[in-house]
Amino acid sequence: MSVTSRAPDARNDQAPAPALRGPVARPGSRLLHRMVWLRLSLLLSAPLAWMLLVYVVALVALLITSLWSVDSLSSEIDRSWTLENFRTLLENEVYRNVALRTVGVAVAVTVIDVAIALPIAFYMAKVASPRARRMLVVAVLTPLWASYLVKVFSWRVVLSEGGLAEWSGLGSPGYGLTAVVITQAYIWLPYVILPIFAALERVPDSLLEAAGDLGAPTGMVLRSIVMPLLVPGIVAGAIFSFSLTMGDYITVNIVGGANQMLGNLIFINAGAANNLPLAAAIAMIPIAVMVVLLTAIRRTGALENM
Partner 1 sequence: MSLSTSAPAEAAAVDRTPAITLRGLRKTFGDVVAVDAVDLDIADGEFFSMLGPSGSGKTTVLRLIAGFEQASAGTVELGGVDVTRSAPFERDVHTVFQDYALFPHMSVLDNVGYGLRVRGLGKKERRERAQQALDTVRLGHLGARRPAQLSGGQRQRVALARAIVLQPRVLLLDEPLGALDLKLREQMQVELKQLQRELGITFVFVTHDQEEALTLSDRIAVFDAGRIQQLGSPREIYESPASAYVAGFVGTTNLFDSATSQRILGVAGEHAVRPERLRLSAGTEPDSEGSARPDEVRLEAVVVETIYLGTGNRVHLRTSDGVELVALEQSTGSLDTREHRGEDVTVRFARADVVPLAAGS
The residues of the shown chain that bind partner 1, judged by CB under 8 A, are 204, 206-207, 209-217, 220, 224-225, 228-229
Provide the minimum distance between the beta carbon of 228 and partner 1 in the complex, in angstroms, as a whole number.
5
* Closer residue to partner 1 (CB): 97 or 224: 224
* Closer residue to partner 1 (CB): 109 or 200: 200
* Closer residue to partner 1 (CB): 221 or 278: 221
Instruction: Judge whether 158 and 232 are in contact, CB under 8 Å.
Output: no
Provide the minimum distance between the beta carbon of 295 and partner 1 in the complex, in angstroms, as a whole number.
22
Instruction: Judge whether 254 and 152 are in contact, CB under 8 Å.
Output: yes
Provide the minimum distance between the beta carbon of 221 and partner 1 in the complex, in angstroms, as a whole number.
9
State the number of CA atoms in the 13 A half-sphere of 299 facing the CB: 6
Within 10 angstroms of residue 239's Cβ, the number of other Cβ atoms is: 19
Instruction: Judge whether 200 and 230 are in contact, CB under 8 Å.
Output: yes
Provide the minimum distance between the beta carbon of 217 and partner 1 in the complex, in angstroms, as a whole number.
6
Provide the minimum distance between the beta carbon of 232 and partner 1 in the complex, in angstroms, as a whole number.
11
Provide the minimum distance between the beta carbon of 204 and partner 1 in the complex, in angstroms, as a whole number.
7
Burial class (CB in 10 A: 0-12, 13-18, 19+), 81: exposed
Closest CA to 228 of 160, 159, 301, 176: 301
* Closer residue to partner 1 (CB): 34 or 299: 299
What gap in Å lies between CA 235 and CA 224, rounded to an integer? 17
Instruction: Judge whether 237 and 193 are in contact, CB under 8 Å.
Output: yes
* Closer residue to partner 1 (CB): 216 or 270: 216
Provide the minimum distance between the beta carbon of 301 and partner 1 in the complex, in angstroms, as a whole number.
11
* Closer residue to partner 1 (CB): 152 or 211: 211
What gap in Å lies between CA 115 and CA 272, rounded to an integer? 39
CA dihedral 284, 290, 296, 297 (to 10 degrees): -160
> CB under 8 Å to 271, separation ≥6 — which residues?
none
Q: For residue 10, which amino acid is it?
A: A
* Closer residue to partner 1 (CB): 5 or 206: 206
User: Cα 203 to chain center, whole Å?
Assistant: 23
